[in-house]
A and B are shown apart, each in its own frame.
Chain A
């Protein structure tokens, strides 16, 4: 079909187009139905009937649209004016008829002439309004903008554009029959996904931008990258047990709840805050659940029992507030403890902290003070003798620290207390 259209538009052998009159406005580059049929007959040496047949398809599929009675998508072999649809709107072009665009189109129609929407358009309008309600302001704003821009065009252009658009949407959003509500939903579902696609793909850009300053390979790090300058200040300043953290580190806690929890120092700060709020048991419960999930298989039953006694039993010393349905399910599951028996309860508490305690912590004096006092390291001055290599100090092996702790009979050895041991022999 497109091949035919392209040859029709050929400047030499194609159709002769003239200015057609539509009531009082003159539309350039238009042709009559009669012209179209004649050209087809001549070019393809076919009968009038066949030419009309082909011409009808061209209109039905939207490659040519009528200027009068745009709803009637058929070719009339008379003086009725027609125009070529711009390739932008061709069905074959991979241009998605997105929900948002349709909503804007309907909104424009509604604004332009109240009550001009026909029955099924009204239905679609309402359905869309419900479905993409969160972007409705955007839709109305876009509609108004487009109307304003079109008012500034010449009347002839405006009519042409309106007809183009109308024809396009007639093809791509045909009136649906009553019992096709389900099907409309099915059809719209992938379109809704298309909108989400855009959002998801944008999230990568957002993430990269947010973390750019924290990426040592991209932006360098202060005071210096230990691998480049042989100076381990950077690691010392960011160790687990440092008293005053760096600004970047504290800032990172505000990126997501996971970031706060993953940093042992962050977790400690959160615990301090929660203690002030009398909800520290939430974090302790979450931590205990993690230990069940990732601990030795043999210790599961014992650990679950501990968790029950401390956090879930009625009258427990650190009772956690879980909704009754989850509590019921968990208590039932505890009778036959397995690795994932506390998952639901843990998830509930996790999201409770995430939605409630975490945002409040970020707004708290505790966090703001820490952020204000946090260190911004000075860049290491380049050494006077660039060829002289700094002595590379070794650090205590995490294995050593744990061993010493075990030897001393400590209860829970934690990894890499960098401040504790002195530098071992090089």
Chain B
């Protein structure tokens, strides 16, 4: 080539324009990545048989809409919170109520069980997250031992303990997430990047255990590094608020449920959406999603009172579960995958298996 005879400055200019042209080509190629879809790869996988899941337990006791619930690591206890300010700990297996706390605020939108099983955290319109140690002394007033941990400038939408009882991760209507030390109430790290209310979060089950994902009203799902506070990945394909995010069991992907009536699966390594779970007949938003133990099934609780069960690999709906008499607001699969529990605005919780 005649490159040697060309002036250096001309070469640079030429190189620059060529690299610009290639940059646009790169973007075009990146867009073309849409040709590898999960359901295509999963064509050879055996389809699922007929699914029979029934309500095995109905937990009645809340006086108003159930907003949130979480399982205890012992696989049978759950904590649930409702609009009337009540937080109840149940042994879901026997349906007995074991503890009850009345919060000073209404709309307790978030609650979580501590990994040790010795405490619960909850919060909502009080803009705080409080931790209550569970005492079995019936006479003891749980509220007295309450520890105020997190302080936000708007409502608390979700909370979760990290690997121990000592740290809590919270998300709030003020658009931020934060990591707190339970003992001292100290803010360890804050996460800024959402442009609107953050509605949900989930911790990654990865080996290094350092990331979590959050979803918000800005239609974005962000993946954060807990150590540095940086947003390391961002996904914006939903058309409305993201109500719920949940990691795939391997930690390589996460699912999201949104008011746009779809659930989507995002692959973290490929950095893009790989599946959409939607149906023309589903027009109400999904409020809550969770995976079965193997990750093959995705359970979604919807605002049309139903629960749709999706085949994660093939993208088809396997089953639709009726039973609740109002919106399903929260849904979690039990730690050993034997059942899942759904909470609804009809004041009840149901355990399905």
Contacts and interface: CB of A to CB of B under 8 A. Distances in A.
Interface of A: 94, 96, 177-180, 182-183, 186-187, 189-191, 193-194, 196-198, 200-205, 207-212, 214-218, 221, 225-228, 232, 234-235, 238, 257-258, 290, 293-298, 339-340, 343, 347, 350, 392-395, 397-400, 402-403, 415-416, 418, 426
Interface string B150-175: 00000000000011101100000000
A415 B117 contact: yes
User: At the interface, is chain A mostly helix, strand, loop or mixed?
Assistant: helix
Interface in B20-57: 22-23, 25-26, 29-30, 32-33, 35-38, 41-42, 45, 48, 53, 56-57
User: At the interface, is chain B mostly helix, strand, loop or mixed?
Assistant: loop
Contact of A297 (B188, B338, B351): B188
Bin chain B's interface residue count. Answer: 35 or more
B339 A225 contact: yes
A214 to B, nearest CB: 6
Contact of A218 (B32, B76, B94, B296): B296
A227 B249 CA distance: 22
B73 interface: yes
A296 B164 CA distance: 9
Given A194-B36, A228-B56, A426-B94, A403 B136 contact: yes
B186 interface: yes
Interface of B: 1, 3, 11, 15, 18-19, 22-23, 25-26, 29-30, 32-33, 35-38, 41-42, 45, 48, 53, 56-57, 72-77, 91, 93-94, 96, 98, 115-118, 133-136, 162-164, 166-167, 181-184, 186, 188, 205, 207-208, 227, 248-250, 252-253, 267, 269-270, 274, 292-297, 312-313, 333, 336-340, 351, 353
Contacts of B250: 203-204, 207
Given A208-B312, A217-B292, A196 B269 contact: yes
Contact of B134 (A94, A183, A397): A397
Contact of A204 (B23, B38, B76): B38
Given A234-B338, A296-B183, A340-B227, A214 B252 contact: no
Contacts of A426: 94, 96
Contact of B32 (A94, A225, A394): A94
Contacts of A179: 1, 3, 11, 15
A125 B252 CA distance: 33
Contact of B183 (A234, A293, A298): A298
A200 B294 contact: no
